[in-house]
Structure 1
Amino acid sequence: MSPSLLRAGSAVVLAFVALTAPIAPVAHADEVPPVTVTVNARAALATVPETGIGVNHAIWDTALGSDQTADLLKAAGVKLLRYPGGSYSDIYHWATHTAPGGYVAPNTDFDTFMSGVRRTGAQPMVTANYGTGTAEEAAGWVREANVVKGYGVKLWEIGNENYGNGHYGTAWEADDHADKSPAEYARQVVAYADAMKAVDPTIKIGAVLTTPANWPDALVGEGDAGSWNKVVLAGAGSKIDFVILHWYPGALDRTGHVADLIQLTRRQIAAYAGPGSERIGIAMTEFNTGSSSNGTNTQPGALAAADSYATLLANGVFTVDWWNTRNGIGAVKEVEGHTDYGDFGLLSSGSCTSDGSVCEPALNTPFAPYYALQMTSRFARPGDQFVKAASDQPAVAAHAARRPNGDLAVMLINTSSATSYPVTLGYAGFSPAAGAPTVLTHTNGATEITSTTAGSATAQTLPPLSLTTIILRPSGTQTGLPAAPGQPSATDVTDTAATISWPASPGQASLKYEVHRQVGTNTEQLGETTGTSFTVHNLRQGTGYTVNVIARDGAGRTSWASPPLTFTTGTPASSSCTVKLTDQTDWGSGYVGSIEVTNNGAPLSGWTLDFAWPRPWQSLGSGWGATWTENGSKVKVVNDPASPTLATGATATVGYVGNYSGPNVLPAVFTLNGITCTTTG
């Protein structure tokens, strides 16, 4: 979105009222109970990708091509740079280095950008002009980049936020196509992909999707066969290599939405993109906490940034790209004792308010989120494997990553303004060496990350508003361990069972394989086998499971955990009742649901349907066709007194308005008079 020159990438304009509270006295560690942090190295998540830490560049940024910019980004661990900048992508013509209707700064052309990419040590991601460009123009850019210049640009997006072209009633993205539907975008993505890959078959093509629970996700435009994502994936799924999400949560406490946000996107890809859709990756090519009320470039925003980067990458996103390298001054306020300039950039642009009364610090001065990216890159390096970590204190977030040499890194985020928390750490599947570990720390207002040797593997103290990374050595030798099994898969998934299969660990025979289920930060061993598949029984209906496989040799030495597998059980294949839930109309924060209840058993003289909301941000707005009651997450639907009977083979239809403020995972398990029904799509 382009609400202003200096915010070319945002999809939603967010307005906030600044609430500034006095700074409370710091509560010292000996005055508060310790926080318990649990790390489980057996509960593996995604592997850290090479391109994980990304940042956006924009052609209206006069300092885009400077060596100082590249050196600062390199020092922050940035591994991907996106160009030419948000909504400008859909008005930018690379061959002439022009953007009609927008400002193009000197020294921001493609060659200058690529020079900075190489100096940074990053990979480029280029957004081809969909809005006012053509497939032929994009193919010409691929030829210039990879054939003529030999830049080897592998990642190419087709357009920016093209759902913002007016098709859903709001327009910020340029789009000269007469047909602005998702079907036309899908057709053009196919044309772009064919033309661009004809020049260089090795490139990867990305298509724009809407982000779950963010406008206009789930809306169905006039004449469309479904939502933007459904139509785009169905029409272009066979031609793309990754999908593109943008996320401006507008608050600092939204990481709890990430797992569902990514899982719902994967479900859409699997449902609509056709055979082989598992190859399609997910890129978060614009991200910012977007919280003007809580501070964008001061420490609260930095803490949220580190938490979000780690959470998104642990859930398998292959790049998270901060909006923006430099952005410009916005609403100025005091946040946690420091001036917040309302700037969405990592680095200062040195700009001033319109009346000149307040100016940012000197050009390229790092803001607090810069240090968040730097800390994240030092905590989780490419090739490391995220593992489960959690805290029992809501003000403290925990992340962990295991390194190929056997080290373990733990990042702890204290969001409290006033409390210095003592932390007790416990480990499963990892034994830390004795002695004080290396501790990296960034505190409120600090202009660098400090490194010390302090505390122990099991006890640390977190200053208020701080980022802390602890780097631990293992107690034993790491040589001779079995190699980790490959990516597991699930087949024959029913309501109570699933068969898990995996590629064997390379290089060793006579291994046993343990299958572990993740339960919070704990793991539960479901079984073991000398083969490469295992059928798990006694599973709960309509429940999501995440499992890892670990290899164990005859000496009892164990491998790293395999990559995670997530699957969801269904409901009984046959039952005395069948339920069909349909999301009939959705507006991004609520929907009209229709439930059809069919009685497959004996006639009922009265009936009660029970279900529960899967997530705490869901609730009942209203209901009709029966008597609806809600108690916490539980919903009860009782037959209308005027129509108490439900004959054999008869269907009762009821409806409701469901409200949500996060990814909308629909209820999947229903019981009729206490009997679990078969749920159909």
Structure 2
Amino acid sequence: MPKVPLRAALAALLTLTALTAPAAYADESTAVKVTVNARAALATVPETGLGTNHAIWDTNLGTDQTADLLKDAGMKLLRYPGGSYSDIYHWATHTAPGGYVAPNTDFDTFMRGVRRTGAQPMVTANYGTGTAEEAAGWVREANIVKKYGVKYWEIGNENYGNGHYGSAWEADDHADKSPNEYARHVVAYADAMKAVDPTIKIGAVLTTPANWPDAITAEGDSGSWNKIVLSAAGPKIDFVILHWYPGALDRNGHVPDMIQLTRDQIAKYAGPGSERIGIAMTEFNTGSSSNGSTTQPGALAAADAYASLLANGVFTVDWWNVHNGIGTVTEVEGHTDYGDFGLLSSGSCTSDGTVCEPALNTPFAPYYALQMVSKFARPGDRFIRAATDQPKVTAHAARRPNGDLAVLMINTSSDTSYPVQLAYSGFTPAAGAPTVLSHTNGATAITTTTSGTATTQTLPPLSLTTVVLKPSSVQAGRPGTPGQPTVSAVTDRTATITWPAAKPGTRPIAKYEVHRQNGAITEQLGETSATTLTVHNLKPGTRYTVNVIARDTGGATSDPSPPLTFTTGTPATSSCSVKLTIQTDWASGYVASIDITNHGAPLNGWTLAFTWPRTWQSLGSGWSAVWTQTGSDVKAANEPANPSLATDATTTIGYVGNYSGPNVLPSVFTLNGTVCTTE
């Protein structure tokens, strides 16, 4: 989306101070159950996890006060020179034709702020109006001349927004605005820039699953933006770039599929060795000035999203923006929301001067949310599974290298204070009151107390609460952690999992256990004394995430291995086969055809059935069959006038599918109750 300073704010709305009623308290007998499973490991917290964007139109980009506030928030990555300005910015002259460049925002000033913050920089090279030679010159200036050691370099900003798909906000002087042209230049940029400094990492722009223009194939293209860019530039890049402005506060459930679908595309199109390619979310914001962009609801959504994205292996999540400017002013949960996408106030006013933001650099609520995430999950910690039984309460957990455990709980209810009961698997907390960090609606700081117990806490309305727990004892001589598992020979019912051996502790390793994550519960799929196990009795078309745990001869267990995710297929042979083909996709719906082939005895009447993988998917319409949907289950039955399907005969039917989140396609189809082979 276009990024410009909101200096000229929209017309102000009259704000009234709301009287807030006392919080209601949920019945103690129905306390929220929070389950934490230390055996179900997710991603390790990266050094660059928490980030934000700087922009060259921000006069306060390089001030010490700004840098110190970002340091206090735990920011570990700062991105420059700022959104769409990246594609008009020329570093050598510090100019952006057609845009405003504020004083004291040059690259050296940015780097001084980066160092004062204690962060790493990410630089976006100008693709839209620049050249590979210009980008290589920037690498030379940054890393050879100035010795700044800038590791991460993006090629362009939102370059799919250049008009190729019908909407244009990103500058692009290339006559050819196709993904093929972008990919060709990514290769040229990567070659030129790495010739100067081979240690740098190059990132290419992708579309975010289920966000426009993802999955759209433009006229003259051989596929979607992501397919073309990854196929052509995959061997040259080190990471891919996503941006996400969900526009609502309840989209965090999209994150696992969003990241998994991106990984699937990388694996499918980027060629051998693509597992090295990381995923960066270099712009994120809750995305709507009407739902609390500077107040507590936006803060809660921000903390939830940052924790989820990092737990799913994204190596940086970067807030848009440090300073932005006043927007539509509203009243949200008893506080003035300034419609500002910044972490810190810019001190700006509405165009008529009737409403002004707080003093410059006053933190908005999302600032405290990211500060809380930095205290909850520190670089080197390992995310582990946590879940709740209350939709208004979400939970995340992280295990620290010293054995401590941190649990972040988010209460999104406006008026209910929830008691919670925490239960742990694979971890026994020490006795006594834990350390509790809290941020509540309207608060201007995170408070730290020792209150409640390891198993009982109370969450105020609209609050962030982190509980930090010590283990009851440190078990000496435990086995080391098994290495990253890999998978091979995946069928509809089996998969072979292999992992590097764990280092023995004081006793020999007796066996390894393979555990499947099922929410915050794990089920053991099998065990072996070797480092390879074929697991059986899997379900067709199902995504599995597993960890490996080593157990020694005394019964002591290791920490869980890094996670492995894989998806089973469908039967290699069956009495039926199905081929699903997407004919067109518009990023919120698609037209698909299904070829059904009967390999068995002739059928006089048939029904094809499948289940939508996600709740945000639905049937729009269908043809060449009688289509029905009940809940998430879809059936397509033969039309009354054409009930027969002979042996080895194929019939083709079609449907329109709607989706409002990452579109995980159905992969398991049954014909008259028999699971078909999906081609």
TM-score under structure 1 length normalisation: 0.97
CA distance in 2, matches of 1:229, 1:23: 47
1:483 partner amino acid? G
SS of residue paired to 1:88: helix
Indicate conservation of the 8 Å contact 1:627/1:637, yes or no. yes
Match of 1:301 in 2: 298
- Cα shift readout 1:438-477 (whole Å, capped 9, x = no counterpart): 0000111111101000000000011111100000000111
CA distance in 2, matches of 1:512, 1:115: 52
Indicate conservation of the 8 Å contact 1:406/1:478, yes or no. no
SS of residue paired to 2:516: strand
| Distance verdict in 2 for CA 1:84–1:3, change over 3 Å | closer
CA distance in 2, matches of 1:29, 1:480: 44
SS of residue paired to 1:424: strand
Alignment of 1:123-272 (within 5 A): 123-272=120-269
SS of residue paired to 1:251: coil
Match of 1:98 in 2: 95
| Distance verdict in 2 for CA 1:491–1:304, change over 3 Å | same
- Residues 1:419 and 2:385 are matched in the alignment: no
Two-structure CA RMSD over aligned residues (Å): 1.7
SS of residue paired to 1:420: strand
- Cα shift readout 1:406-445 (whole Å, capped 9, x = no counterpart): 0000000011111111110000000000000000001111
Alignment of 1:371-410 (within 5 A): 371-410=368-407
Count the aligned residue pairs. 674
Quote the offset at 1:606 in angstroms: 1.3
| Distance verdict in 2 for CA 1:566–1:31, change over 3 Å | closer
Indicate conservation of the 8 Å contact 1:423/1:459, yes or no. yes
CA distance in 2, matches of 1:125, 1:211: 20
CA distance in 1, matches of 2:580, 2:316: 35
CA distance in 2, matches of 1:536, 1:257: 29
SS of residue paired to 1:186: helix
Indicate conservation of the 8 Å contact 2:45/2:380, yes or no. yes
Indicate conservation of the 8 Å contact 2:41/2:384, yes or no. yes
- Cα shift readout 1:491-546 (whole Å, capped 9, x = no counterpart): 00000000000111135553421110111110011111111111000101111111
2:447 partner amino acid? T
Quote the offset at 1:556 in angstroms: 1.4
- Residues 1:328 and 2:325 are matched in the alignment: yes
CA distance in 2, matches of 1:7, 1:515: 56
Match of 1:598 in 2: 597
CA distance in 1, matches of 2:188, 2:610: 45
SS of residue paired to 2:288: coil
Quote the offset at 1:559 in angstroms: 1.1
- Residues 1:670 and 2:669 are matched in the alignment: yes
- Residues 1:455 and 2:442 are matched in the alignment: no
2:344 alignment partner, one of 347, 350, 356:
347
| Distance verdict in 2 for CA 1:21–1:446, change over 3 Å | closer
Match of 2:5 in 1: 5
CA distance in 2, matches of 1:219, 1:19: 44
Alignment of 1:442-521 (within 5 A): 442-506=439-503, 508=505, 509-521=508-520
547-556 vs 240-249, greater mean Cα deviation: 547-556
Quote the offset at 1:115 in angstroms: 0.4
Q: Which runs of 5+ in 2 are unaligned?
A: none
CA distance in 2, matches of 1:457, 1:650: 63
Q: Which runs of 5+ in 1 are unaligned?
A: none
Indicate conservation of the 8 Å contact 2:3/2:85, yes or no. no
79-88 vs 546-555, greater mean Cα deviation: 546-555
CA distance in 2, matches of 1:210, 1:390: 29
Quote the offset at 1:483 in angstroms: 1.3
CA distance in 2, matches of 1:349, 1:145: 29
1:325 partner amino acid? V
Indicate conservation of the 8 Å contact 2:56/2:81, yes or no. yes
Quote the offset at 1:627 in angstroms: 0.4
- Residues 1:116 and 2:113 are matched in the alignment: yes
Indicate conservation of the 8 Å contact 2:18/2:334, yes or no. no
CA distance in 2, matches of 1:554, 1:20: 65
Identity %, equivalent residues: 79
Quote the offset at 1:393 in angstroms: 0.7
1:292 partner amino acid? S
Quote the offset at 1:2 in angstroms: 2.2
Indicate conservation of the 8 Å contact 1:24/1:417, yes or no. no
Quote the offset at 1:54 in angstroms: 0.4
CA distance in 2, matches of 1:609, 1:417: 45
CA distance in 1, matches of 2:239, 2:666: 28
TM-score under structure 2 length normalisation: 0.97
| Distance verdict in 2 for CA 1:7–1:55, change over 3 Å | farther
CA distance in 2, matches of 1:241, 1:230: 16
Quote the offset at 1:644 in angstroms: 1.1
Indicate conservation of the 8 Å contact 2:7/2:348, yes or no. no
1:405 partner amino acid? N
CA distance in 2, matches of 1:159, 1:422: 47
1:52 alignment partner, one of 49, 52, 56:
49
Indicate conservation of the 8 Å contact 1:23/1:417, yes or no. no
| Distance verdict in 2 for CA 1:77–1:177, change over 3 Å | same
CA distance in 2, matches of 1:4, 1:118: 26
CA distance in 2, matches of 1:229, 1:21: 47
CA distance in 2, matches of 1:480, 1:20: 59
CA distance in 1, matches of 2:577, 2:540: 14
Indicate conservation of the 8 Å contact 1:20/1:335, yes or no. no
SS of residue paired to 1:622: strand
Indicate conservation of the 8 Å contact 1:405/1:478, yes or no. no
